Chain A
């Protein structure tokens, strides 16, 4: 925001008085009104707005649920049933919140993979990207602890399995586990501290989101060509252009969200979580929520406990190093024919890992998990560094404007065909 001087001019005397003391209106104006947006952005660039909406929705429904929920082992399950049965529109609040977590992850995965496809993590956007990885980690912690709160069988056993992972850490592992549990097994103290943290973390996410948006507005948005804005002709002002597009995309996303909430609200959950937690009965099949499945598959692919934990953690940490692991000078995969294929292969591997994470760790599934896990890391640690050295990228357009015009005339026009046509198809 400091990069471009604000064009905001306070009109009334009161606004002038306020602006000279706290220039927040100018800040908002330069970030969400005058901010130049590449004019060739596709709908993949609306997920930032959708994610902000989802964070807000989760916080609002969550605060309301917290007014009725009891974080105590003998009453938590019942209090959730009380919300579902007796609180006015309690069923709506809870289904919104539970399915909202899944929607949040769907949106964040699209957002992350969009960044990977278009090289949005490359200079000068490294800090922006790393802040995103931090948000993703915080989201995972929040979602995990939230799933424990209904205190059903899957809550309890999921919490047991995941917290036990920390015991693999040498020397301090057991201490960390006792701290997480608040005792020597998962129980009421665990539930109570998870509730406290589940309430805290979303506000930390909100804080990092502010930094994420701040960093974005210093370096500007990437776009489907990866070519930076070179003149005013490449850009449109955020308001009304991006504002209206983001609003429209958010409404479409909310319709998708509403389908799950109102018509298939328990699809993404697990039937076992409607059975109250029972430490004496282990469910036959402990599975995490779908959004953790790829990481769960990586965890189980490694035969050693500590190794598995390190691999699972590494699978997320490696994302933070992506800006330096990818050695190519070209951002967008539209101009990187080889990278584009590796990108889609990587997507397939992630989906496969998700499927394998839901399968029992036996026989062919283990072998498949190991192959996919190996490829996951090879993609980041071997393919990306080498591709930058060996790949011949297609010629880049000289400006965003050039691709916009070429696309409107039906491609071609002195440009590489793929280069000009792709962005408009991607929307």
Chain B
């Protein structure tokens, strides 16, 4: 976090009424809060959205960014849930290095569902060399590895039931993808840099990945049209949701298990409360202490 973001966070922390505009003037604005299907205590992923998001990743991100997850997870419950056949076919489109074989040689073979999605670059140094000195970050955890400070008192509310807000990372990713702008007057962007409203410090090495509406073709519905608009904003939303799933593939199972756990505990707790009341009722109004209990030792 840069000092500018600090100033922004502090301004928010102190002056509760300071609006986003005020902090935006100081530094980085807060990413706008999106509505996601996977937020809240019963949130689930939208399969179609995850599938579209994966398509956006393949066409707009994969050339530079690694996504280190096995192909098979794309068919897993709680994810995009492509069919096993689709995933096997998809994996076979990629070549991976394997070996050494019995002759001691490395060899290439088509990828299998158990393999990780391959990366364009053989290693991080190669990626750095091809990208102006710094490797593009891997994306499998990006939605959990980014965030922003909300300041007091919001950070307190963010943990509370019904108010909980856990989507800082994915909101940031979405905002970043659509945050490219012309630099304001007086701001010079160094060569190789790009101006982004939401990036801390504003100068980001990544060129604008989603450039124009219609850039990525979405699957068509029965009426021959895509059910969602083929716009930059929608691409950014879909790929962000997909990256959230990639970072937290068991999110649905977690929330479902949590719901059942809380119900179980509530029932058990209610029973225990009743038992406790029953037991303590015996102590009653009048003393019926323990016969034979001696006073305890020294009393200081």
Contact = CB atoms under 8 A, between A and B. Distances in A.
A201 B190 CA distance: 51
A235 B289 contact: yes
B258 interface: yes
A284 B1 contact: yes
Contacts of B285: 405, 408
A261 B258 contact: yes
B276 A245 contact: yes
Contact of A236 (B145, B261, B283): B283
Nearest to B152: A355
A36 to B, nearest CB: 5
B126 interface: no
Given A85-B249, A123-B298, A261-B258, A234 B289 contact: yes
A124 interface: yes
Contacts of A404: 287
A255 B298 contact: no
Interface string A320-342: 00000000000000000000000
Contacts of A251: 265, 268-269, 272
A274 B1 contact: no
Given A241-B283, A248-B273, A258 B164 contact: no
B159 A267 contact: yes
B169 A235 contact: no
A266 interface: yes
A275 B2 contact: no
A275 B254 CA distance: 22
Interface in A267-322: 267, 271-272, 274-275, 284-285
Interface size class of A (residues with CB under 8 A): 35 or more
A143 B152 CA distance: 26
Contacts of B41: 263
Interface in B1-38: 1-2, 6, 10
Contacts of A92: 254, 257
Contacts of B141: 81, 274-275
Given A251-B265, A255-B269, A284 B2 contact: yes
Contacts of B273: 248
Given A251-B268, A264-B166, A284-B1, A123 B258 contact: no
Interface in B145-199: 145-147, 152, 158-159, 161, 164, 166, 168-169
B166 A266 contact: yes
A241 B296 CA distance: 19
A244 B159 contact: no
Main secondary structure of the interface of B (DSSP, over half): loop
Interface centre among B10, B262, B300, by most A CB within 10 Å? Answer: B300
Contacts of B259: 262
A233 interface: yes
B265 A258 contact: yes
A286 to B, nearest CB: 11
Given A3-B297, A360-B6, A232 B1 contact: no
A229 B292 CA distance: 13
Contacts of A236: 283, 289-290
A68 interface: no
A237 B266 CA distance: 27
Interface in B244-300: 247, 249-250, 253-255, 257-259, 261-262, 265-266, 268-269, 272-273, 275-276, 279-280, 283, 285, 287-300
Contact of B290 (A230, A237, A244, A247): A237
Given A36-B290, A263-B164, A124 B300 contact: yes
A136 B59 CA distance: 53
A240 interface: yes
Contacts of B208: none
Contact of B269 (A122, A219, A252, A360): A252
A408 B285 CA distance: 8
B66 interface: no
Given A92-B254, A244-B279, A245-B276, A231 B295 contact: yes
A211 to B, nearest CB: 17
Most buried by A among B257, B265, B276, B293: B293
A288 B255 CA distance: 28
Contacts of A75: none
B254 A265 contact: yes
B283 A39 contact: yes
B159 to A, nearest CB: 5
A264 B159 contact: yes
B293 A263 contact: no
Contacts of B258: 258-259, 261-263
A4 B292 CA distance: 11
Contacts of A266: 144, 166
B293 to A, nearest CB: 4
Pick from A247, A259, A401, A405 the residue with the most CB of B within 10 Å: A259
A254 B268 CA distance: 11
B261 A262 contact: yes
A91 interface: yes
B255 A262 contact: yes
B147 A255 contact: no
Given A235-B289, A248-B275, 10 more contacts: A3-B296, A39-B283, A85-B73, A123-B300, A124-B298, A258-B265, A259-B262, A262-B257, A359-B10, A360-B6
Q: Which 5 A-B pairs have the closest CB atoms?
A: A262-B258, A123-B300, A233-B289, A232-B289, A232-B293
Interface of B: 1-2, 6, 10, 41, 69, 73, 137, 140-141, 144-147, 152, 158-159, 161, 164, 166, 168-169, 247, 249-250, 253-255, 257-259, 261-262, 265-266, 268-269, 272-273, 275-276, 279-280, 283, 285, 287-300
6 contacts: A81-B141, A124-B299, A232-B292, A236-B289, A258-B258, A258-B261
